[in-house]
Amino acid sequence: MSNQSSISLMNFLPTSGIATITPYLLIAMSALLLAVSGTPVMRQVALRLGVIDAPNARKVHVSPVPRMGGAAIYIAFIIALFFLGDQHYVNEVVGIFIGASLMSLMGVIDDKWGLGSYIKLGGQILAAAILIYSGVQVRLFNNWLDLLITLGWVVGITNAMNFLDNMDGLSGGIAMIASVYFTLLSAMSHQYLVGALAAALAGACAGFLVHNWNPAHIFMGDTGSLFLGFLLAAVAIKLRFPANSKTVTWMIPVLVLALPVFDTTLVFISRLRRGKNPLTTPGKDHISHRLAVLTGSRREAVLLCYLIAGAVGLASVFITQATRLEALIVGVLVILIALYGWWWLEFRRGGVRAM
């Protein structure tokens, strides 16, 4: 293998070393401390307002749990970024802030009073339109296809993270892992803005997980899951890798968010096969539920999801400096593994599904 195509750990380190990472660490630690201290406050607010997630047949918890933990994530993210982020860069992401705030507000309303699936879908499309209007969009073909891809990506990832919020510590942990990878990738490509957004989100999710790990004392609710999904989708769009070809680097954010993408695809196909509406039919057919059946433990199921997300994230780091052939090989391998996983969970011996 030539020196140009060989990849080592040193290739992945930012040239300015600790000086590049330090601002991200400060932002992440601040968001973490804010979320750790703010989540119990939001728990009391949720109890006072009666924003409670009651157990039922399709849910895994057996006692009422307060929602609105997502509000603590949102507030920690905003405060950490406002006080520690570079204001010149922060001003460039007004569209992201407006869209993310809309998602969080819609989540609060849904957690308290409930919103229909199609109303939430309309809100997601509106938030995506705000993002596009502000100039944050996919730039692959430089024509109208970019707008459609942007819309589909934002709505898809927002729903994927919302779907994934079905077990203690799952959605917050996957969002944290994805945000850590986005922070690392931003440092590698010297994109302070994207790195600051991702670092603040990683810290806020980590702080929330202190209270959300099994057994959870509070849930993030749609307030958090819609916010996380929208923000991760937006950060992924902002990420750029000018040193490599777009035919290669488009795979990077897809790999970072591969687990929620796989979970949503699995659920959609499974429900359509059974003649049910994927958007309006709840059920225990997510990858986490199926892994819990196989392992006999919800904690182990969540940890396995973390492991999968981390492993595929490593592939995304490799792709940053991969040739087209190397990227093609990685992409094909990931698709083949995903197809086998889907067949194994859905069809092998009748499939694996929680009752």
Q: pLDDT, tens digit, for every residue of 72-129? A: 999 999 999 888 766 666 556 889 999 999 999 999 999 999 898 889 999 999 999 9
pLDDT score, position 12: 43
Helix (H, G, I), strand (E, B) or coil at 69: helix
Who's near 77: CB < 8 A, 6+ residues apart? 31, 200, 201, 204, 231
Vertex 277: Cα angle to 281 and 350 (nearest 5): 80
Percent of the chain with pLDDT over 70: 88
Tell me: pLDDT of 15 over 80. no
Per mean pLDDT, which range of 51-60, 152-161, 207-216, 303-312 is the poorest? 51-60
Structural domain spans, the chain? 9-350
| Percent of the chain clearing pLDDT 90 (strictly above) | 70
Report pLDDT for 280: 77
pLDDT (average), residues 175-188: 95
Q: What share of the chain is helix, strand, coil (3-state, %, to 5)?
A: 70, 0, 25
Give the pLDDT score at 5.
39
pTM summary value: 0.91
CB 181 within 8 A of CB 151: no
pLDDT of residue 325: 96
* Mean pLDDT value of segment 291-312: 95
Closest CA to 253 of 244, 240, 262, 263: 240
Phi-psi region of 135 (alpha: psi -120 to 50; beta: other; left: phi over 0): left
Q: Which two tokens stand for residue 325?
A: 């052939």
Confidence class for position 19, pLDDT limits 50, 70, 90: very low
Tens digit of each residue's pLDDT (9 = 90 or more) over 275-284: 888 877 778 8
Q: Which residue has the tokens 């994109």?
A: 191
pLDDT-derived band at 6, boundaries 50, 70, 90: very low
- Position 72 scores a pLDDT of 97
More confident of the two residues 230 and 243: 230
Identify the pLDDT of residue 18.
42
pLDDT of residue 90: 59
Query: Does position 4 have pLDDT exceeding 90, yes or no?
Result: no
Neighbours of 92 (CB within 10 A): 14
Question: What is the mean predicted confidence (pLDDT) over 191-199?
Answer: 91
52 — phi, psi (to 5°)? Answer: -125, 140
Q: Which helix (H) or strand (E) holds 53?
A: strand 52-53
According to the model, what pLDDT value does residue 8 have?
39
Q: For residue 165, what are the contacts with CB-CB under 8 A and spacing of at least 6?
A: 171, 219, 220, 221, 222, 224, 225
Q: Using 50, 70 and 90 to split pLDDT, how confident is the model at 3? A: very low
What is the average per-residue pLDDT within 160-174? 95
Question: Which residue matches tokens 């009748």?
Answer: 350
The pLDDT of residue 313 is 96
Report which listed range, 51-60, 149-158, 192-201, is most confident: 149-158
Q: Which amino acid is at 261?
A: V
Side chain identity at 269, as an amino acid letter? I
Residue entry with tokens 């932002």: 27
Whether the ω angle into residue 40 lies within 30 degrees of 0, i.e. cis, is no
Q: What pLDDT, in 10s, does the model give residues 242-285? A: 888 999 999 999 999 999 999 999 999 999 988 888 877 778 88
pLDDT tens-place string over residues 116-163: 888 999 999 999 999 999 989 999 998 999 999 999 999 999 999 999
